[in-house]
Amino acid sequence: MKSPAPMRNGAQELAKEYLRLGGHRLLVMDDNILSTESWEADTPEAETFWRRKIEILEPRQRNEVMSFLPSINVT
């Protein structure tokens, strides 16, 4: 029996590509409000990708992408 193909998550794929391009933003979650913080500059490619593909998303979709970034919060 053939195993099902893994489900693709668009938000996760966007986050992975951003990080692969040299993105350094980290997820900050405070009282269930998501934002990002960065202490290092993104590569020009990652910055352009963020502006063109992620920043333009509706807040709910953008939050989903940010949820796949590395987090500074301790769980």
Predicted TM-score of the model (pTM): 0.83
Per-residue pLDDT tens digits for 24-71:
999 998 888 889 999 899 999 999 999 999 999 999 999 999 999 999
What per-residue confidence (pLDDT) applies to 66?
Answer: 95
Read off the pLDDT of each residue in 7-11 and give the average, rounded to a whole number: 77
One-character DSSP codes across 58-75: -HHHHHHHHTTS-BSS--
Read off the pLDDT of each residue in 15-24 and give the average, rounded to a whole number: 98
How far is it, in rounded angstroms, from Cα 18 to Cα 3? Answer: 29
- Residue ranges per domain, the chain? 10-66
Structure tokens at 52: 């063109």
What per-residue confidence (pLDDT) applies to 9?
Answer: 82
What per-residue confidence (pLDDT) applies to 8?
Answer: 63
Could you tell me where the DSSP H helices lie in 10-75?
A: 10-20, 44-49, 59-66
